[in-house]
Amino acid sequence: MAEICALIGPNGAGKTTLFNAVSGNVVADGGSIRFRGEEIAGLTPHEISARGARRTFQNGGLFPELTALENVLVGLHAQVGSGFFGLLFGRRSAAAEASATMRARELLSTMGLAHIAEQKAGALSGGQQRMVEIVRALATNPPLLLLDEPAVGLAPAARQQLTSVIRNLARTRNIGILLIEHAIELVMSVADRVIVLNDGRKVADAPPEQVRADRAVLEAYLGHA
């Protein structure tokens, strides 16, 4: 059973910067980032993605002009193993493409998204977009999923669904989750461990009950007790 770790803190605390450092979108000035025993600081985003740390984005992380299905196919990019010259002269690439498409459809339908597979991602509702983005990130079955404010802008029902999806991923698929989230009820209900950041520093690192009890932390850094 993998861990769900939430990263909370006031705006400007450095949550997204930390996230971007892990996913390779910014280069850390110093220190070390280790993933499954390997130093990943300084690697490019696509190298980190290939090692199995996959992320979603705060808003608009999809490819709006591509369909939901094509978005997931991009998520499978590295697994559709057609090389450039093999592609031009070989037959194998068509088979690889067909099996990837089948897999992408499967992934969408396990999340109940089969009916929107052919729709442009840009035309989907906020909740659907968030789910497609999670499916896309999970397409390669990564050991770690980084979710950047997945609940923002979601209706209560969609938020509920998201909560159970996150819980399921960790419990049944054994996918470790690092979550940035402002929706404190969601954090408290799914996280095994909560890290509170303020001004670029870690000020708490404890199970949710303990962080909840730490009134000083909540008052000082979240503004509500």
Q: How far is the CB of 94 from another protein (least distance, A)?
A: 9
Q: Which part of the chain contacts another protein (CB under 8 A), choosing from 7-15, 50-58, 111-119, 212-220?
A: 50-58
Residue 136 CA to residue 212 CA, distance in Å, equals 33
| Contact between 28 and another protein per CB under 8 A | no
Q: Please pick, from the candidates 6, 8, 19, 70, the single residue that binds another protein as defined by CB under 8 A.
A: 70
Q: Which part of the chain contacts another protein (CB under 8 A), choosing from 26-34, 76-84, 178-186, 198-206?
A: 76-84
Residue 181 CA to residue 196 CA, distance in Å, equals 11
| Contact between 10 and another protein per CB under 8 A | no
Q: Which part of the chain contacts another protein (CB under 8 A), choosing from 29-37, 51-59, 103-111, 165-173?
A: 51-59
CB-nearer residue toward another protein: 87 or 220: 87
Of 38, 2, 4, 1, which Cα lies nearest the Cα of 150? 4
Q: Please pick, from the candidates 28, 63, 165, 214, the single residue that binds another protein as defined by CB under 8 A.
A: 63
| Contact between 129 and another protein per CB under 8 A | no
| Contact between 35 and another protein per CB under 8 A | no
CB-nearer residue toward another protein: 12 or 64: 64
CB-nearer residue toward another protein: 46 or 115: 46
| Contact between 87 and another protein per CB under 8 A | yes
Ramachandran angles phi, psi of 210, nearest 5°: -70, -40
| Contact between 45 and another protein per CB under 8 A | yes
| Binding site residues, another protein, CB under 8 A | 23, 25, 44-46, 49-50, 54-55, 57, 60-66, 70, 73-75, 77-78, 80, 82, 84, 87-88, 93, 97, 100, 120, 136-137, 140
